[in-house]
Amino acid sequence: MQPDPTPEAMLSVRGLKKVYQTDGGDIEAVRNLTFDLRAGELVCLVGPSGSGKTTLLKCISGLMAPTEGEVLLDGKRVSGPPKKMAVVFQEYGRSLFPWMRVRDNVELPLKNQGVPKAERDKLVDEALEAVGLAHVPRSYPWQLSGGMQQRVAIARAIAYQPEVLLMDEPFAAVDAQTRADLEDLIRTIWKKFGVTVLFVTHDIDESVYLGERVIILSSSPTVVQEDIVIDLPVDRDQLETRSLPRFTELRHHVYEQIQLAKKGHRPAAAGSPADSTAGSAAG
């Protein structure tokens, strides 16, 4: 029924549907989602609040089983938390373990996997270096600022060497300046480690600035509203990129789509994979 995933797809969501059974009746959070991420792509997922982003992410990360449809990681069906995937949560304060020092937090998943000590040390050092936190390995997470804590969480994800990195509104709880730094950090890490990133956000500017592609979700019950390619230069700069006319156009377009989604507008062929590009939609 669902079209086959593109052969080079790293992460593939096929006809995903999630219905919550509650005492007050069934609630359809996600109706029908289908999209692919190619290996090494950085894709942002935006949608109005309550559009089932968290539900979708839980299904992709294997924390929750979908009601229908499936998630494929590198061609294999996801039925539990997959080994090749790391998740960065929005609530860094709760996601990092306060009883462990920064270094131990980053090291724990590797230790649990049985990675030998020498290699572990190398990976942890590399990851802390990459997020600019090589100087605080002995601190506890709660001794650091919010932005630094989220960097620790990102370091933990990198050290785990995932093929897919899921980020669930990771910067929603940090201040604007820190946020800009962290956005650039994600771009840098994505380029350096060649990891496939699915970045969920409710921030339209952020999605356009970060992504190579932006998937816009409709309001709940969720389908893909639009899937657009962000044809901005690969090297992005907070000032220059954001002042490009093309950036404004794309931002404008995504904003409009989100407004439409909020009003309950749904794409004509709800459920079929949207492959329109920004060129045809925004131009």
Site string for other proteins, 2-41 (x = CB under 8 A): ----------------------------------------
CA of residue 268 relative to chain centroid, distance: 26
What's the CA gap between 168 and 44, in Å, rounded?
10
Sequence-separated (6 or more) residues with CB below 8 Å from residue 19: 26, 27, 28, 29, 67
Applying CB under 8 A, the span of 98-106, 121-129, 181-189, 256-264 interacting with other proteins comes to: 98-106
What's the CA gap between 198 and 181, in Å, rounded?
19
Contact 55, 48 (CB under 8 A): no
Among 15, 40, 62, 132, binds other proteins (CB under 8 A): 62
Strands (DSSP E) contained in 109-177 are: 164-168
Nearer to other proteins, 145 or 238 (CB): 145
Nearer to other proteins, 29 or 136 (CB): 136
- Copy the structure tokens of residue 227: 């899937």
Q: Residues in contact with other proteins, total (CB under 8 A)?
A: 29
Applying CB under 8 A, the span of 60-68, 122-130, 238-246, 261-269 interacting with other proteins comes to: 60-68
Nearest to 42 by CA among 208, 156, 255: 208
Sheet of 196-201, strands arranged across: 76-77, 68-73, 9-22, 25-38, 222-229, 213-217, 42-46, 196-201, 164-168, 85-88
Among 4, 7, 49, 94, binds other proteins (CB under 8 A): 94
61 forms part of the interface with other proteins (CB under 8 A): yes
Among 29, 43, 131, 148, binds other proteins (CB under 8 A): 148
Site string for other proteins, 104-143 (x = CB under 8 A): ----xx--xx-------------------------xx-xx
CB of 159 to other proteins, least distance (A): 10
What's the CA gap between 210 and 164, in Å, rounded?
16
Among 37, 86, 133, 167, binds other proteins (CB under 8 A): 86
What's the CA gap between 217 and 30, in Å, rounded?
10
Give contact residues for other proteins (rule: CB under 8 A). 61-63, 81, 83, 85-87, 89, 91, 94-95, 97-100, 108-109, 112-113, 139-140, 142-145, 148, 156, 160
